[in-house]
Amino acid sequence: MPELSRRRALTATAALAAAAGAHAVTMPGAWAAPAQAHHPHGAPEPFDEVYKGRRIQGRPAGGGHHHGMDGMDYAVFVDGAELHVMRNADGTWISVVGHYAPVATPRAAARAAVDELQGARLLPFPAN
Number of structural domains in the chain: 1
Q: Which of 26-30, 58-62, 77-81 shows the lowest per-residue confidence on average (mean pLDDT)?
A: 26-30
Query: Is residue 21 in a domain?
Result: no
Residue 40 belongs to a domain:
yes
Residue 124 in domain: no
Q: Of 65-69, 72-76, 78-82, give the lowest mean pLDDT range.
A: 65-69
* In-domain check, residue 26: no
Say what percent of the chain tops pLDDT 90.
49
**Contact yes or no for 36/68 (Cβ under 8 A):** no
CA distances (Å), origin 33, targets 39, 88, 114: 11, 11, 25
What's the domain range around 79?
36-117
pLDDT higher for 23 or 97? 97
Q: Quick check: helix, strand or coil at residue 77?
A: strand
Q: To the nearest 5 percent, what fractions of the chain are helix, strand and coil? A: 30, 20, 50
pLDDT at residue 21 tops 80: no
Mean pLDDT value of segment 80-94: 94
Give the integer Cα–Cα distance in Å for 81 and 96: 13
Residue 20 inside a domain? The answer is no
Q: Which residue has the higher pLDDT, 18 or 118?
A: 118
Q: Is 84 helix (H, G, I), strand (E, B) or coil?
A: coil
Q: Does a structural domain hold residue 67?
A: yes
Alpha-carbon Rg for the chain in angstroms: 21
Q: Do the domain assignments include residue 7?
A: no
In a domain, 128, yes or no: no
Return the pLDDT at 108: 97
> Which CATH number belongs to the domain containing residue 94 in this structure?
3.30.1880.10
